[in-house]
Amino acid sequence: MITSSSKVVVLGHASVGKSSLVLRFCKGQFFEYQEPTVGAAFLTKSIPFGNEEAKMEIWDTAGQERYHSLARMYYRGAYAAVIVYDITNKESFIKAKEWAKELHQQIPEEINIVLVGNKSDLESLRTVSFDEASDYAKSSGYIFLETSAKTGENVDDVFFSLAEKLPKTP
């Protein structure tokens, strides 16, 4: 299966679990201490696509402000963005909304967005309600999921939900 672009970029505040989500999905691994990403890195994964398979290129970006302009370089060629926040960190939710706004301002063409509330295993520490995030996503036209890179909950769904939106070459 040949697709024109299968690049997905993962954006969000530092420490929300971007690297952990990518690693969980692509390699089935999780580490309590995950090395911070410097700049950006990508992993590939074959995903079901109709009766065939497509290769998804998943770009993990660094959340630190000093790498912000680098992230911009990476989301340019992407057909989809996964914007991650941490359900125990309100500030990271505010940042997620800023990322979404920036994408709309910077990218002229339409981009598929999945909003992800990660660390759903830390329910007792939750500060961002499911309904608040879900309402925001719905009104913006984004797919919304809560995940745990630690337990693996919903992680595959994040990327599989984008498989059906893969751009096809004529």
Residues in touch with ligand GDP (CB under 6 A): 12, 14-20, 31-34, 36-37, 63, 118-119, 121-122, 148-150
Report the chain's terminal Cα–Cα distance, integer Å.
Answer: 11
Minimum CB–partner distance for residue 110 and ligand GDP (Å)? 25
* Distance separating alpha carbons of residues 18 and 60, to the nearest angstrom: 7
Minimum CB–partner distance for residue 22 and ligand GDP (Å)? 8
* Distance separating alpha carbons of residues 86 and 72, to the nearest angstrom: 21
Residue with tokens 């299966």: 1
Please tell me the number of Cα atoms within 13 Å of 145 on its side-chain side: 20
Minimum CB–partner distance for residue 136 and ligand GDP (Å)? 20
Nearer to ligand GDP, 21 or 166 (CB): 21
Nearer to ligand GDP, 115 or 166 (CB): 115
Minimum CB–partner distance for residue 15 and ligand GDP (Å)? 4
Nearer to ligand GDP, 67 or 79 (CB): 67
Tell me the residue type at 21: L
Tally of residues, the chain: 170
Q: Which residue is nearest to ligand GDP (CB)?
A: 17
Tell me the residue type at 28: G
